[in-house]
Chain A
Amino acid sequence: MADAPSGRSLVVDAVTHRYPSGALAVENINLDIKGGEIIALLGPSGCGKTTLLRIIAGFIAQTQGRIIIGDDIVDALPPNRRAVGIVFQNYALFPHLSISENVAYGLAARGIDKATRQREAQRLLELVQLPTMAERLPRQLSGGQQQRVALARALAIKPSILLLDEPFAALDKNLRLDMQIEVKRLQRVSGITTLIVTHDQEEALSMADRVAVLSHGQLEQFGSPSDVYDRPQTLFVNTFVGSTNRMPGVVVSADRTAAKVRLDAGAEIIARPAGGALSEGGRVTVCIRPEHLQFVGDETGFAGVVGMSLPLGATVVHEVTTADGSGVKVSQARIGETRALTNGAAVRLAPLAPSLANAFPATL
Chain B
Amino acid sequence: MGVAPAARDVTSYGMGLAAPLALFFLVFFVAPLLQLFWLSLHNDTAGLHWGLGQYLHFLTDPFSLGVLGSTLLLGAEVTAVCLVLGFPIAWLYQRVGPKLQTIIILIVLLPLLTSVVVRTFAWIVILGRQGIINATLQSLGIIDTPLKLLYTQFGVVIALAQVQMPLMTLPLITALGRIDPNLDDASCSLGAGSWRTFFRIVLPLSLPGIIAGCTLTYAAAITAFITQSLVGGGQMLFMPMYLYQQASTLQNWPFAAAISIIFLLAVLAVVSVFTTLGRMSRGYGGAG
- Name A residues whose Cβ lies closer than 8 Å to a Cβ of B: 57-59, 78-86, 88, 90-96, 105-106, 109-110, 137-139, 141, 143, 146, 153-154, 156-157
Contacts and interface: CB of A to CB of B under 8 A. Distances in A.
Contacts of A82: 189
B285 A110 contact: no
A255 to B, nearest CB: 51
B40 to A, nearest CB: 44
28 contacts: A80-B190, A80-B191, A80-B193, A82-B189, A83-B191, A86-B186, A86-B189, A88-B182, A90-B1, A91-B2, A92-B183, A92-B186, A94-B186, A94-B201, A95-B2, A95-B205, A95-B284, A95-B286, A95-B288, A96-B204, A105-B200, A109-B192, A109-B196, A138-B1, A139-B288, A146-B2, A154-B189, A156-B190
B189 A109 contact: no
Given A80-B192, A92-B180, A96-B286, A139 B2 contact: yes
A165 to B, nearest CB: 9
A53 B180 CA distance: 19
Q: State which size class the interface on B falls in.
A: 20 to 34
Q: Which among B3, B284, B288 has the greatest number of chain A C-beta atoms within 10 A?
A: B3
Nearest to B185: A59
Nearest to B207: A96
A54 to B, nearest CB: 8
B189 A79 contact: yes
Interface in B165-205: 180, 182-183, 185-193, 196, 200-201, 204-205
B4 interface: yes
B2 A138 contact: yes
A84 B191 CA distance: 9
Q: Which among B186, B188, B190, B286 has the greatest number of chain A C-beta atoms within 10 A?
A: B190
A143 B1 CA distance: 10
Contact of A157 (B185, B190, B193): B190
Contacts, number: 90
Given A137-B285, A139-B285, A92 B188 contact: no
Given A59-B185, A106-B191, A109-B190, A96 B284 contact: yes
Q: Which among A83, A90, A156 has the greatest number of chain B C-beta atoms within 10 A?
A: A90
Given A79-B188, A86-B186, A139-B288, 5 more contacts: A58-B189, A95-B2, A95-B284, A106-B191, A154-B189
A95 B207 CA distance: 13
Contacts of A157: 190-191
Nearest to B182: A92
A93 B188 contact: no
Given A59-B185, A92-B180, A92-B185, A106 B190 contact: yes
B186 A96 contact: no
Given A90-B1, A137-B285, A80 B189 contact: yes
A93 B180 CA distance: 10
A138 B205 CA distance: 14
Nearest to A101: B200
The 10 closest A-B pairs by CB, nearest first: A106-B190, A96-B284, A92-B182, A109-B192, A92-B186, A109-B191, A139-B2, A95-B286, A79-B188, A86-B189
A109 B192 CA distance: 5
A110 B189 CA distance: 12
